[in-house]
Amino acid sequence: MSIAVILQAAVDALSRDPDAGVSEIAKVAGVGRVTVYGHFPTRADLVAAALAHAIGQAHPGLEDVDLTGDPRAALTRLIESSWQVVDRSRSLLIAAQDVLPPSRILDLHAGPAGRVGKLVERGRDEGVFRTDLPAEWLVGVMHSVMHHAADELNAGRLAAGQAATYIAATVLAAFRPPAG
């Protein structure tokens, strides 16, 4: 039971302040620091688990996105919904970027990335997405562009209302077959 409470406390505290420490997270969870360290030996372990927890919580919402029909329209819908999640989690994402290597952050997104991957494969089968680059690369490009938008928003160089449009316009163009 205490692990779920600690993870929710970590998500809440890091969503308010990306520099929230283990003591503060323990306080929010109503447990001692020793209890937290018993489950998560380092702050990086706790941040990684909090990110995984937040991604898991977003899963049902993203599962509801209709991915049938034109793969391009489906990808646009998925980008819009995924962006809402990334935007809400920007502070947590900063915390993760501070302590985890980019490839570890990408790995923690394996769940949502798997859904994007299936849609990419269908779009390739239907001839609307390119096949001259690996599907895994295309999924990674979408992830990078989305997190780039989060970084630009954090830096005050992008308005929240523009992000999903920019991401979709960029990713759909990047996915188009070269001759298309």
DSSP 92-161: HHHHHHHHS-HHHHHHHTHHHHHHHHHHHHHHHHTTSS-SSS-HHHHHHHHHHHHHHHHHHHHTTSS-HH
CB of 132 to its own copies, least distance (A): 7
CB of 155 to its own copies, least distance (A): 4
Does 155 help bind its own copies (rule: CB under 8 A)?
A: yes
155: which 2 tokens?
A: 């830096």
Rama region for 30: left / alpha / beta (φ>0; ψ in -120 to 50; rest): left
CB of 3 to its own copies, least distance (A): 27
Distance CA 32, CA 151 (A): 33
Considering only residues 101, 108, 116, 119, which one is a binding residue for its own copies as defined by CB under 8 A?
Answer: 101
Applying CB under 8 A, which part among 6-14, 51-59, 111-119, 167-175 lies near its own copies? 167-175
Q: Count CB neighbours of 98 within 10 A.
A: 12
Does 141 help bind its own copies (rule: CB under 8 A)?
A: yes
| Closest C-alpha among 132, 115, 97, 7 to residue 59 | 115
Distance CA 61, CA 34 (A): 34
Applying CB under 8 A, which part among 20-28, 77-85, 118-126, 168-176 lies near its own copies? 168-176
Does 128 help bind its own copies (rule: CB under 8 A)?
A: no
Does 57 help bind its own copies (rule: CB under 8 A)?
A: no
Does 82 help bind its own copies (rule: CB under 8 A)?
A: no
Binding site for its own copies (CB under 8 A): 94, 97-98, 101-103, 106, 130, 132-133, 136-137, 140-141, 143-145, 147-148, 151-152, 154-155, 157-158, 166, 169-171, 173-176, 178
